[in-house]
Amino acid sequence: MTRVKGGPRTRRRHKDILKQTEGQRGTKHRLFRRANEALMKSLWYAYCDRRNRKRDFRRLWIVRINAAARQHGLNYSQLMNGLRRAGVALDRKTLADLAVRDAQAFSSLAATARAAIAA
């Protein structure tokens, strides 16, 4: 059996990794070993941050809802409790969007929540 060397395959793999790390600084886009380390790290960060993005957006929505609720004399937990008691099933993303874009609709929701708390 003849000996087969993996030169073309290895070169193709190296070129692919160097192509993926093109925007990196220093040797991370020039040398294969450093590029491979940088690529593995960046792929790990991308994996983690796809989950972290969901947490970050939920936090942002809660901050926006709380700020808008305080303008109507409620805090976040009172507003959410009142909406739950009133049977309003809106998620935080929608509530935050209403708080930012449609103040009149949010004020009617705050009034609904206040009425449900009082009842």
Which CATH number goes with the domain that contains 60?
1.10.1900.20
Structural domain range at position 112: 7-118
2 occurs within a structural domain: no
Contacts (Cβ under 8 Å, ≥6 apart) of 52: none
Burial of 95 (0-12, 13-18, 19+ CB in 10 A): buried
Per residue of the chain (119 residues), give pLDDT as tens: 888 888 899 999 999 999 999 999 999 999 999 999 999 999 999 999 999 999 999 999 999 999 999 999 999 999 999 999 999 999 999 999 999 999 999 999 999 999 999 98
pLDDT at 59: 97
Predicted pLDDT at 1: 82
Domain count, the chain: 1
What is the model's pLDDT at position 29? Answer: 96
For residue 86, is it within any domain?
Answer: yes
